[in-house]
Amino acid sequence: MKFDTPAGQNPIDRLKVVGQPTDRIDGKYKTTGTAPYAYERHDVTPSQAYGYVLGAGIAKGGIRGMDTSIARTAPGVLAIVTTLETPRMERGTMNTAYLFGGDQVQHYHQAIAVVVAETFEQARAASFLITVDYTPETGKFDLAAEAKSAKPVKGDSGEGSGGNGEERVGDFEGAFAKAQVTFDEIYATADESHAMMEPHATVAAWEGDKVTLWTSNQMITWAHESMAKILGIPKANVRIDSPYVGGGFGGKLFVRADAVLAALGAKAAGRPVKVALTRPLIANNTTHRPATIQRVRIGATKDGTITAIAHESTSGNLPDGDPETAVSQTKLLYAGANRLTAMKLALLDLPEGNAMRAPGEAPGLMVLEVAMDEMAEKLGIDPVEFRVRNDTQVDPHAPDRRFSHRDLVGCLKLGADRFGWAKRNAKPGSLRDGQWLVGVGVASAFRNNMVMKSGARVRLDEQGTVTVETDMTDIGTGTYTIIAQTAAEMMGVPLDKVVVRLGDSDFPASAGSGGQWGANSSTSGVYAACVKLREAVAQRLGINSADAVFEDGQVRSGNRGVPLGEAAQGGLTVEDTIEFGELSKTYQQSTFGAHFVEVGVDVHTAEIRVRRMLAVCAAGRILNPKSARSQVIGGMTMGVGAALMEELAVDTKRGFFANHDLAGYEVPVHADIPHQDVIFLDEVDPISSPMKAKGVGELGICGVSAAVANAVYNATGIRVREYPLTLDKFLDRMPDAA
C-alpha cells in the first residue's frame, strides 16, 4: 500500500481497540520470566557451547602476537578464534568500527578473541590464559583538546535528525550584531552509555552453510543484511530471530561483536555457541552517545521576538563516524528570520559514537532549552511565554512548508496550568523547604516523526484467529500489543483472537525499532496487510469489500452476517507493505511536548533530587495510552540520568571509558525518580499515516534534562553549563548554608 495522500476515515477510527489503554499482551510472560531472551534459548538448538569475548587492553595500536597455546589446552575449551587469524571482516549496516578481524585495535575493548568451551566457567577462565603482545600507539582521546581542529561536517543520525556542516537562513551575523538583546554561551554534554539491562547476546547455530542467530536486535532487516555481509554468505543463508529484546535504546540497532563471534565460534567449534558481552566490556566495546561542545547565540528584540539564532555543535568520533547531530532541532523549533546551524567533527580514538535514544535532539535540546531559559531571563520574560511568542507553524528554512500538525503552544500552556507554573518564584534561589532549595523548570520537547516502509503478513484461520507476522521488534515499546490492537480493530475481532509473532527475518521486513518510527510505521504495515485481508475475505464471501463491516468476529454486509473464520476455509494469508510517499517531504512532520520539573537542591551538599515531573505531549493519535505513557516516563527517567549523573568518564591519557560497569556508570535508580505525570493532547495527524499516529518513544527524553537544569537554576541561582550537573561542578558557588 502506498500512503501518499492524507488518511481519510478508516476502520482504525472506530477506536474500539486501538487507542485503548490495554494491558500488554506479553505482560504475563515478562512478569513470570517466561519471555525468552536471546541467551536463554535452550529450546532452539541442542548442546550449546559457551563463548567468552576478550576485549583489547589498549585504545589504539597493533597486535603483534597472541599466544593461545595454554588457553587451547585448558579444560573444556573447544575452540578459540582470534582476531589475528581472522582477516578484517566487513562492517555491517551503520557500523563505524570493525567488529572483528585483523591486527589493528581501533578502540579499547574492541573484540580480539572468543573462547568457546563446554561451560561458561571454563570459557571465562581460559580467556584469561591468552597473552597478547600489543604495539600501542598514541591516540586522540580528549574532545576539548581536539575540538579546535574539528572540521565542519554534514551528518545524519539515521534517526530523523541531521544536516549539512553549515546551514543558513538570512544573515545571522548581521542580525545578531544588531539585536537589542543578545545571548552567547557555550555548553557541554557528556558521553553516555545505553546501559540496557540485557547485555548484547546471541546464540548461533550452523547447519551446513546456513546459520541461524537467536539474538537481541532492534532492526532485523539490517541485522539480516549485515550478518550476510560480514560472514560473506548469501542473505538466504542467514536467519535472525529476536522475539524479545531486553532494551536497546539504539545500542542494538546494529549487529555487534556478540553476533559475529557467536557465528565464528560456532563454526570453529562445530557446535552451536552462545555469547553474551560481559557488562564490564559493554561500555567500550559497543557504541555510546558522543559528548558534545555546543555554542548557542540568540538575538531578540526587547519584547522577546527572536531575530537571530545560531546553534553550533562539535563532537568526536572514529574515522568514518558521524557527528552527533545536536543542532538539528534548532532548525525547526522556533521562529527567527536569521539562522545558523553548524556541526563539526573531531577525530577521536575513543569507542564508536553512534545513535542513542533521540540522537541529535536529546543532547541538542539539553543545550538549546537551557539557552532559551537564559535568554528569557535576560529579556525579563517568563520562559513559557518566551517560547510561545516564538512558535512557528512553518519550517523556518522553507516557509512554504507547513508542519503536518504542531501544537507546541498547547503543550506549554496546558502543562503550565497543570503544573502550577503561575506559582513559580521567578527570582532564583528564593524558595526554601527545610534542607532544600526548591525550583521549577520548563523546556520544550521536540522530535521529528519519521515514517519507514514496513511490511506484515496476516493469516486468518477457520477459528477466526488472526495471526500477524512481521520482523518488527518489541524492545519494551509495546509493539506486540499495539500490533494486536491494530489487527483486532481492522478485522473486528477481540484482542485475544490475535496472535502476534515478531522479530524473525523469515517474516516480512518491517520498519524495525529506532528513531521513534516503529509504532506508527509497523502498525501502518499491519493496517495495509489487514486492508488486503479484508478484501480477500470479502471476495471469498462474495461481498463487496466497501460494504463489508468487520465487527464482533463477524463480517456483515446488509442483513448478512458471516463468522470471520468461515472465510478462511483452507487458510487465508496475505502480505503487504506500507510505503510512504512525498507527504513527509511536503509537510514537516514532528512531535512536540513540554516538560515541567521541580527539583530540590540540598542547601549544604548541593545534591539535586527531582521532586515532581510532568510531560505534555502532542504526538498524533496515541495507539495505546498505557504503553505510550510508559515510553514517555522512560524517556523522562533517562533524561534525569543525563541531567544529573550519567557520564562515561574518559581517561584522556589511556583512551577509554574508565567507569565501565553499572556501579561506575550511574543511571537513575528508583529513589531518583518521583511520580511522573504525562498528558497526551487529544489529536490525530492524518498526514503521518493511516494510523494518524506519530512517534512517541523518544519524545519523552527530548528537553527533559534541560527542564531539570533550568529547575536547578531556579532553585539556586547557579547556572551549570556542563552536564551532568554533579555537585562538584557548583558546590563552590552554593550560597552559605550556615
Partner 1 sequence: MVGASATAALAAVPSAAGAAPVSIDKPVLTKVSLTVNGQRRDLELDTRTSLLDAAREHLHLTGSKKGCDHGQCGACTMIVEGRRINSCLTLAVMHQGAEITTIEGIGQPENLHPMQAAFIKHDGYQCGYCTPGQICSGVAVLAEIKAGIPSHVTADLNATLQVTEAEIRERMSGNICRCGAYSNIVEAMTEVAGRPV
Partner 2 sequence: MKSFTYERPSSPSEAAAAVARTPNAKFIAGGTNLLDLMKLQIETPAHLVDVNGLGLDTIEPTPEGGLRVGALVRNTDLAADARVRKDYAVLSRALLAGASGQLRNKATTAGNLLQRTRCPYFYDTAQACNKRQPGSGCSALDGVSRQLAVIGGSEACIATHPGDMAVAMRLLDANVETVDAKGSSRKIPMAEFHRLPGDRPEIDTTLKAGELITAVTLPKPLGGTHVYRKVRDRASYAYALVSVAAVLQPDGTGRAAFGGVSHKPWRVEAAEGDLPRGAKAVTDKAFAGAKPTHQNAYKLKLAERTLMAAIHEARA
Residues acting as catalytic residues? 698
What residues from 245 to 284 belong to the interface with partner 2 (CB under 8 A)?
280
What residues from 323 to 382 belong to the interface with partner 2 (CB under 8 A)?
none
Q: Which does 276 bind (CB under 5 to 8 A by kind): partner 2, partner 1, none?
A: partner 1
- The amino acid present at 625, given as its one-letter code, is P
What residues from 408 to 447 belong to the interface with partner 2 (CB under 8 A)?
435
Q: Which does 711 bind (CB under 5 to 8 A by kind): partner 2, partner 1, none?
A: none
Looking only at the bridges linking them, the beta strands covering 590-602 and 49-55 are: unpaired
CB of 200 to partner 2, least distance (A): 18
The yes or no reply on residue 732 touching partner 2 (CB under 8 A) is yes
What is the contact mask toward partner 2 in residues 612 to 651, using x (rule: CB under 8 A)?
--------------------------------xx---xxx
Cα separation, 104 vs 134, whole angstroms: 10
The yes or no reply on residue 658 touching partner 2 (CB under 8 A) is yes
The yes or no reply on residue 121 touching partner 1 (CB under 8 A) is yes
Q: Which does 456 bind (CB under 5 to 8 A by kind): partner 1, partner 2, none?
A: none
CB of 196 to partner 1, least distance (A): 5
3 state SS of 361? helix
The yes or no reply on residue 70 touching partner 2 (CB under 8 A) is no
What residues from 1 to 60 belong to the interface with partner 1 (CB under 8 A)?
23-24, 26-37, 39-40, 42, 54, 57-58
Q: Element (H or E) spanning 631, and its range?
A: helix 625-644
Distance (Å) of CA 481 to CA 21, 25, 240, 473: 10, 5, 22, 12
Greatest alpha-carbon pair distance for the chain in Å reads 85
Contact 420, 452 (CB under 8 A): no
Q: Which does 119 bind (CB under 5 to 8 A by kind): partner 1, partner 2, none?
A: partner 1
What residues from 662 to 691 belong to the interface with partner 2 (CB under 8 A)?
663-664, 666-672
Query: Which member of 660, 692, 694, 719 binds partner 2 (CB under 8 A)?
Result: 660
Cα separation, 597 vs 639, whole angstroms: 11
Query: Which member of 663, 728, 732, 736 binds partner 1 (CB under 8 A)?
Result: 663
In angstroms and rounded to an integer, the radius of gyration of the C-alpha atoms of the chain is 26
Cα separation, 3 vs 680, whole angstroms: 25
Give the DSSP per-residue string, 229-262: HHHTS-GGGEEEE-S--S--TTTTSS--HHHHHH
The yes or no reply on residue 654 touching partner 2 (CB under 8 A) is yes
Q: Which does 421 bind (CB under 5 to 8 A by kind): partner 1, partner 2, none?
A: none
The yes or no reply on residue 70 touching partner 1 (CB under 8 A) is yes
- How far is C-alpha 710 from the geometric centre of its chain's CA atoms? 24
Which CB atom, from 448 or from 726, has the smaller least distance to partner 2?
726
Q: Which does 179 bind (CB under 5 to 8 A by kind): partner 2, partner 1, none?
A: none
What residues from 103 to 162 belong to the interface with partner 2 (CB under 8 A)?
121, 124-125, 128
What is the contact mask toward partner 2 in residues 584 to 603, using x (rule: CB under 8 A)?
------------------x-
The yes or no reply on residue 133 touching partner 1 (CB under 8 A) is yes
Q: Which does 659 bind (CB under 5 to 8 A by kind): partner 1, partner 2, none?
A: partner 2
- What angle do helix axes 361-379 and 704-716 make, rounded to 10 degrees? 40
Q: Residue by residue, what is the 3-state secondary structure of 259-328? A: HHHHHHHHHHHCCCEEEECCHHHHHHHCCEECCEEEEEEEEECCCCCEEEEEEEEEEEECCCCCCCCCCH
C-alpha cell at 594: 513540554
Q: How many positions of this chain bind partner 1 (CB under 8 A)?
A: 84
Q: How many positions of this chain bind partner 2 (CB under 8 A)?
A: 43
Which CB atom, from 91 or from 654, has the smaller least distance to partner 1?
654
Query: Which member of 257, 638, 642, 711 binds partner 1 (CB under 8 A)?
Result: 638
Q: Which does 31 bind (CB under 5 to 8 A by kind): partner 1, partner 2, none?
A: partner 1
Nearest CA to 251 among 707, 640, 667, 625?
A: 667
CB of 124 to partner 1, least distance (A): 8
What residues from 362 to 421 belong to the interface with partner 1 (CB under 8 A)?
none
CB of 113 to partner 1, least distance (A): 10
Q: Which residues contact 321 (CB under 8 A, 6 or more apart)?
A: 96, 345, 352, 353, 354
* Burial class of residue 502 in the structure, from the number of CB atoms within 10 Å of its CB (0-12 exposed, 13-18 middle, 19+ buried): buried
Which CB atom, from 58 or from 644, has the smaller least distance to partner 1?
58
- The amino acid present at 693, given as its one-letter code, is A
- The amino acid present at 708, given as its one-letter code, is V
Q: With the C-alpha atoms ordered 392, 393, 395, 400, is the resulting torsion angle positive or negative? A: negative
Cα separation, 508 vs 526, whole angstroms: 11
Query: Which member of 2, 4, 15, 75 binds partner 1 (CB under 8 A)?
Result: 75
Q: Which does 15 bind (CB under 5 to 8 A by kind): partner 1, partner 2, none?
A: none
What residues from 45 to 64 belong to the interface with partner 2 (CB under 8 A)?
57-58
What is the contact mask toward partner 1 in residues 466 to 505, using x (rule: CB under 8 A)?
---------xxxx---------------------------
The yes or no reply on residue 653 touching partner 2 (CB under 8 A) is yes
Q: Which does 714 bind (CB under 5 to 8 A by kind): partner 1, partner 2, none?
A: none
Nearest CA to 141 among 543, 653, 663?
A: 653
Which CB atom, from 399 or from 664, has the smaller least distance to partner 2?
664
Cis upstream peptide for 724 (omega within 30°):
yes
Cα separation, 53 vs 534, whole angstroms: 50
Distance (Å) of CA 43 to CA 20, 32, 33, 107, 469: 35, 18, 15, 36, 21
Contact 695, 516 (CB under 8 A): yes
The yes or no reply on residue 702 touching partner 1 (CB under 8 A) is no
Question: In this structure, what DSSP letter does residue 504 have?
Answer: B
C-alpha cell at 104: 589493528
Question: In this structure, what DSSP letter does residue 37 have?
Answer: P
The yes or no reply on residue 738 touching partner 2 (CB under 8 A) is yes
Q: Which does 136 bind (CB under 5 to 8 A by kind): partner 1, partner 2, none?
A: partner 1
Contact 136, 98 (CB under 8 A): no
What is the contact mask toward partner 1 in residues 266 to 305, using x (rule: CB under 8 A)?
----------x-xxx-------------------------
Which CB atom, from 44 or from 658, has the smaller least distance to partner 2?
658
Which CB atom, from 366 or from 619, has the smaller least distance to partner 2?
366
Q: State the residues that interact with partner 2 by CB under 8 A.
A: 57-58, 121, 124-125, 128, 280, 435, 602, 604-607, 609, 644-645, 649-651, 653-654, 658-661, 663-664, 666-672, 724, 726-728, 731-732, 734, 737-738
